[in-house]
Structure 1
Amino acid sequence: MTGIVHFTTFLMTGILLNLTPGNDTIFILTKSIGQGKKAGIMSALGIGTGSIIHTLLAALGLSVIIAKSILLFNIIKYAGAAYLLYIGYKMLTDRSQLNTNMAVKNDRANYLKIYRDAIITNVLNPKVALFFIAFLPQFIDPAVKNTVLPFLLLGLTFITTGMIRCLVLAIFAAAIFSRLKNNTAVSNYINKICGLALVALGIKVAFATQK
């Protein structure tokens, strides 16, 4: 492939990295468990879209600015943490029943909101930007002058394998908890637990460092 070296190694390493649980995993699980399979799938698609944006930023060199600017890193980090805390708070204070027949009329707008939330939380995670500019260049030929195409090819490959894993995760997580959807007491507890998980994730992001 033009400008890419050791692609097989990259592919295998990328798959292993995608299998490692991270912030995106927690977000997808909370949506799948708390709001059902379609919500989980939309969150996975949103995470994938956010990763495409990170790939484009890395290819254009903008992610390097984030890596070198402590101020910009912190602004993005705290914005992302605040957004996660907001989503978690909304789940904690939501009085509607989880996935019951009366409550779950998840229309197009609801799914678009979940998709949007996933994109925002991924894009506002500076750790993801740092990962792309640290990992992808290792598999780009140093002799190549135009690195945009190799960056895009490697990024899209990594995102594709990650998306497969995220979609499988969303479907299985929703399936496991689907039998609990008509149990009001249990469903409400699950909703609160998912909210707490997102709040905890927000706190984790807030304390992230550039290292």
Structure 2
Amino acid sequence: MYDLNHWIVFFTAAFALNVSPGPDIAYIVSNTVAHGKRHGFAASFGVCSGAIVHVLAAAFGLSAILAASALAFSAVKWVGAAYLIYLGIHALMTAGDGFAIDGKPRQSRSSFAIFRQGFMIDVLNPKVAVFFMAFLPQFADPTLGHVPLQLVLHGALVIAVGLMVEAGIVLVAARFTEALRRNPRIGLWLDRALGTVLIGLGVRLALQQRGAH
């Protein structure tokens, strides 16, 4: 049985990790600012769904392949970087299309499309896989048995904390951009900002090394 100190340390670490700026937060905030609260939540759910894949991979040993194989790590990294850059270029080419004259976001892109992109962005980031493989075992107790299930439990809790943190971020971002959205010309710059962020994330991922943090 885990003691109180275990949970205090774990949830403190999980909260600190989730509030730290990173590619996931940048993607969520960018979509909230560019397309509204609904798309922000869709981005958050997509990113967290992708994290579930990494948690299961860490629990059952698949992430070890990425950590041990430079070829596998590079392959996933470059596919992920190319995908991000493609999304960024697409956003730049359709700049401003997501906004109507009255300032209300158009539904030119479905929430599911944003969810799917967030899912793929997280799944195709090998650093997330390596992170969960390194982070989760620190909180597993072999004496309690069923180590994979312990890893899944702690991974699910990290994701749950992330959902709560990201929900707050989406609400704050949506509140501050609501007034901006009333100006139809602002849509052009919001979509350009989204495209620039996505391309930047793609370049950042492409430049990452296996041992970098």
TM-score range, shorter chain: over 0.9
Amino acid at match of 1:136: L
How far is the alpha carbon of 1:25 from its aligned partner?
0.6
Offset from partner CA, 1:78-110 (integer Å, 9 cap, x none): 111111101111110104444325784427x71
**What runs of 5+ residues in structure 2 fail to find an aligned partner?**
none
* Alignment match, 1:161: 161
Amino acid at match of 1:106: Q
Equivalent position SS for 2:127: helix
* Alignment match, 1:78: 78
Kept in 2: contact 1:100–1:182 (CA 8 A): no
How far is the alpha carbon of 1:145 from its aligned partner?
4.8
Higher alpha-carbon deviation: 6-15 or 94-103: 94-103
How far is the alpha carbon of 1:19 from its aligned partner?
1.1
Kept in 1: contact 2:95–2:192 (CA 8 A): no
Identity over aligned residues, as a percent?
33
How far is the alpha carbon of 1:16 from its aligned partner?
1.1
* Alignment match, 2:92: 92
- How many residues are aligned here? 210
* Alignment match, 1:32: 32
Amino acid at match of 1:99: F
How far is the alpha carbon of 1:133 from its aligned partner?
0.5
TM-score using structure 2 length = 0.91
* Alignment match, 1:210: 210
How far is the alpha carbon of 1:182 from its aligned partner?
2.8
Kept in 1: contact 2:32–2:170 (CA 8 A): yes
Kept in 2: contact 1:41–1:171 (CA 8 A): no
TM-score using structure 1 length = 0.92
How far is the alpha carbon of 1:208 from its aligned partner?
0.8
Q: Pairwise mapping of residues 1-211 of structure 1 onto structure 2 (< 5 A)?
A: 1=1, 6-100=6-100, 104-106=105-107, 110-211=110-211
Q: Residue 39 and residue 101 in structure 1: after superposition, are their counterparts in 2 closer, same or farther (change >3 A)?
A: farther
Distance 1:8 1:76 in 2: 34
**What runs of 5+ residues in structure 1 fail to find an aligned partner?**
none
Offset from partner CA, 1:113-140 (integer Å, 9 cap, x none): 1100000000100110011010110111
How far is the alpha carbon of 1:165 from its aligned partner?
0.6
Amino acid at match of 2:132: F
How far is the alpha carbon of 1:152 from its aligned partner?
0.8
How far is the alpha carbon of 1:67 from its aligned partner?
0.6
Segments ≥4 residues shifted beyond 4 Å: none
Kept in 2: contact 1:80–1:205 (CA 8 A): yes
CA RMSD of aligned residues (A): 2.1
Kept in 1: contact 2:90–2:195 (CA 8 A): yes
Amino acid at match of 1:29: V
Higher alpha-carbon deviation: 135-144 or 55-64: 135-144
